[in-house]
Amino acid sequence: MKKMTRTKGILCFVVSVLVIVLLGLLVVNGTPNWDKLGKWKKSGQASNIKLGLDLEGGVSVTYQVSKENGKWTEQNLADTRSKLEERIHDFSNEATAYKEGDDRITVEIPGETDIQSVLDRLGATGELYFCTKLADDGNVEVEGHEIYELKEGAYAGKYEVWLTGEQVASAEGQMVTDDNTKASEAVVSLTFGDEGATAFGNMTSAHVNDQTFIIYDDDVISAPTVKSAITNGKAQIDGMKDLEEAQALATGIRNGALDLKLDRISSKVVSAQLGTDALSKSVKAGIIGILLIILFLLFVYRVPGIAAGFALISYTELIMLVLNAYDITLTLPGIAGIILGIGMAVDANVIIYARIREEIAKGKTVKSAIKLGFEKATSAIVDGNITTFIAAMILIWRGSGSVRGFGQTLGIGIVISMFTALVVSRGIVWFLYYMGFDKEVFYGKEEAKKPFDFISKRYICFAISAAVAVAGIAAMAINSGAGKDAFYFSIEFAGGTSTAVEFDGKVDVDKLNKEIVPAIEKELGISGVQSQIDRETGLVTFKTPALDKDKTAKLKDLLVKNYKAKDSEDNFLPEFISGTVSKEMRTNAILATIVATICMLIYIWFRFKDIRFAGSAVLALIHDVFLVVAFYAISRTLVGTNFIACLLTLVGYSINATIVIFDRIRENKAVMKRTDDIKDVVNTSITQTLTRSIYTSLTTFVMVFMIYIMGVSSIQDFTLPLMVGIIVGGYSSVFLTGSVWYMFVAKKYSNNK
């Protein structure tokens, strides 16, 4: 940083504080502006962030297979469900579609309250035809082409079908500018496959100066006149009223016609699955956790702790603004991504400030120590964040549902955490230095520690890990032998029972989640019960693990006696529901994790120029995942969609901690003498980074622990294994990764002596 006077330092610091305060006001209050109707409104505030079904609720629509289909198969129903799920992902990546009963499909879309808009988008069958109209002379025979008849409306008549939506390779709703009028209009841009391009070329060649017709869902949506033959395999559908309509049409075309005709039997706006206070409690816990972390950093690092505090606050503000700006749906797994981002932001600051103190201990001036501290910490920060960012991008690319949502918030969090650590924190540290905080006492000195012999204790650590792994395998075997699943799968994975219950009067959603749901779980000896309230009728739907007749009777007895549920024959009618985590989502999650691991291995290999670093990191990562899976089996903690997010959080957290230690080994190895023992280099490197490992694990653990003690039961089911993962990740980074790498290279270095 260029030379700065004390006055400039004070001025820059004050400006930085004002910017952070203004960002905070923007997050809380938004930016006031005028809408199209001239009414004053606010936008940009965190309260506008789109929340998932678990945190806010949304629209739920149930369809039944129409009798018009005649005979149909389970595969038809599965394919229809899959296509519906693709359509609703245009609303949100967190939207789900699942089978209910024998012939029903229910879709749930978070954050939506406009039922009609949802129905308009879902109701389309997706049938698209490119046609020319036949003369109304009774002769309707067309060689080689299908005949399509519109029976009603202004365009009623018979049409020759030249190609259908099946020949469309891609469809995209977009805004274009008219070359003549310069006005913008919404269109759907189509690209045909080889067969479709040929058919479309034939149609336009045969009907130059004639009108053609594009029919979608029994309606002529465009009737352009062909000016010349179009043989490039591209076309546009115009006449869209806005971009949203164009994008909806493009979605229907891309996904094609539904395999089965569906009849809508219900549509409703439902309450949050976790209750209205779940988010507020999580936010309060997060604020308390961040404040505790800032106080801890102030106590440990003194003046740099002030910079770390501002960096964390700015991180939180920026991620809230980005989530709002890009309409990213925030769910519980998404919150996990933010938590991991906070952990990595803290980690980056800890690495930097520990480096500054080390340089001061070597006799450097405070100014030189700050400069060298940021320079030497940058490689570890960048490598750790990039490896995790690679994983996030793979999850966005290959994941679906909550997995993709986790990847989005994680990716955003990584970018912002790097910015706040390397730019915001750096700037404020320098501002404080030039304000007069230029003495060693304000920064502290990292006292040299005698290296601990981690390598010699490696077999004890290996035995501990093996014992936990064996206990996990034994728990899975015992559970399976007892006629239960190896894991306690939630409704999302195993399916279950959906029971609609009518109460005398409306039920308060918080009472439902704080009192009624826990009572049901206790009475029936189950967990993972979900509840939703129809906001219009007050009808409550309970989703539980599969219930037999006895448990259904117990449920009815409990709710009738204690909570004023109506005791009638048509109340408490159970329906089987399939898992909302589809086979595709599970496959995508596994594939994404494998691809992400391979990509991280390649990156570490490239950066450290040694496959043994990459191999050690991946082995440690596999170890961490397996131990957390073992915890799920031993404790019988509920395995739901949050299970996937938990493991993915651990992958990101574990690899980041490992990179920091490997970076120090690489640095120390570069200056070692031929007479030095590589074992001592590894022990020294782990000892030098031990403070960072402890502090980062502690601060991240505090963040998750606050959410655990203040959250509702569903959140606790998620945060408990996450805390276990943080402990396991910290343990493996310190006690295993260096030891594994040492075992890979020990022979090489012993031969060099």
Q: How confident is the model at residue 273 (pLDDT cuts 50, 70, 90)?
A: low
Q: What average pLDDT score do residues 162-189 get?
A: 83
Q: How confident is the model at residue 125 (pLDDT cuts 50, 70, 90)?
A: low
Question: Which strands make up the sheet holding 104-110, listed edge to edge?
Answer: 262-270, 58-65, 104-110, 96-100, 573-577, 496-501, 540-544, 530-533
Q: What average pLDDT score do residues 194-201 get?
A: 91
The interaxial angle of helices 583-608 and 641-670, nearest 10 deg, is 10
pLDDT (0 to 100) of residue 375:
92
| pLDDT tens, position by position, 5-48 | 788 888 988 998 898 888 888 877 765 544 433 444 445 455 56
pLDDT (0 to 100) of residue 39:
42
Contact between 644 and 737 under an 8 Å Cβ cutoff? The reply is no
Tokens linked to 574: 């159970």
Choose between 556 and 241: higher pLDDT: 556
Contact between 149 and 213 under an 8 Å Cβ cutoff? The reply is no
List, in sequence order, the alpha helices (H) in 436-516.
458-481, 491-494, 509-511
Q: What letter represents residue 633's amino acid?
A: A
Q: Is 49 helix (H, G, I), strand (E, B) or coil?
A: coil
pLDDT (0 to 100) of residue 34:
44
pLDDT (0 to 100) of residue 400:
62
| pLDDT tens, position by position, 138-159 | 556 677 788 888 888 888 888 9
**Above 90 in pLDDT, residue 268?**
no
- In the numeric block, the tokens 């003046």 are attached to 303
Query: What is the helix, strand, coil percentage profile of the chain, to 5?
Result: 60, 15, 25
Mean model confidence pLDDT for the chain: 81
Q: Is 436 helix (H, G, I), strand (E, B) or coil?
A: coil
Q: CB-based contacts of 57: which residues, under 8 Å, 6+ apart?
A: 110, 269, 270, 271, 272, 273, 532, 535
Contact between 497 and 545 under an 8 Å Cβ cutoff? The reply is yes
Tokens linked to 535: 């906001």
Q: What average pLDDT score do residues 593-613 get?
A: 84
- In the numeric block, the tokens 């291995």 are attached to 601
| Domains in the chain, CATH or no CATH each | 58-124+265-270 (3.30.70.3400), 128-257 (3.30.1360.200), 277-469+583-752 (no CATH), 496-577 (3.30.70.3400)
Measured in degrees and rounded to the nearest 5, phi and psi for residue 397 equal -70, -50
Task: Report DSSP state, residue 224.
Answer: P
Of 262-266, 290-294, 698-702, minimum mean pLDDT range: 262-266
- Cα 408 from chain centroid (whole Å): 5
Contact between 341 and 417 under an 8 Å Cβ cutoff? The reply is yes
Question: Which strands make up the sheet holding 184-192, listed edge to edge?
Answer: 168-177, 184-192, 234-240
pLDDT (0 to 100) of residue 37:
38
Cα distance from N-terminal residue to C-terminal residue, the chain? 44
Neighbours of 23 (CB within 10 A): 17
Contact between 528 and 545 under an 8 Å Cβ cutoff? The reply is yes
| pLDDT tens, position by position, 432-460 | 999 989 899 899 887 778 889 999 999 99
How many residues in total does the chain contain?
753
| pLDDT tens, position by position, 615-633 | 998 898 889 988 989 998 8
Q: Is 548 helix (H, G, I), strand (E, B) or coil?
A: coil
CA–CA separation, 203 vs 229, rounded Å?
Answer: 8
To the question of pTM greater than 0.75 for the whole model, the response is no
Q: How confident is the model at residue 351 (pLDDT cuts 50, 70, 90)?
A: confident
Contact between 398 and 587 under an 8 Å Cβ cutoff? The reply is no
**Above 90 in pLDDT, residue 474?**
yes
CA–CA separation, 454 vs 731, rounded Å?
Answer: 12
Task: Report DSSP state, residue 735.
Answer: I
Measured in degrees and rounded to the nearest 5, phi and psi for residue 293 equal -65, -45
Q: What average pLDDT score do residues 410-428 get?
A: 89
CA–CA separation, 654 vs 731, rounded Å?
Answer: 10
Percent of the chain residues topping a pLDDT of 70: 88
| pLDDT tens, position by position, 63-107 | 888 877 778 888 888 878 877 777 777 677 667 787 777 788 888
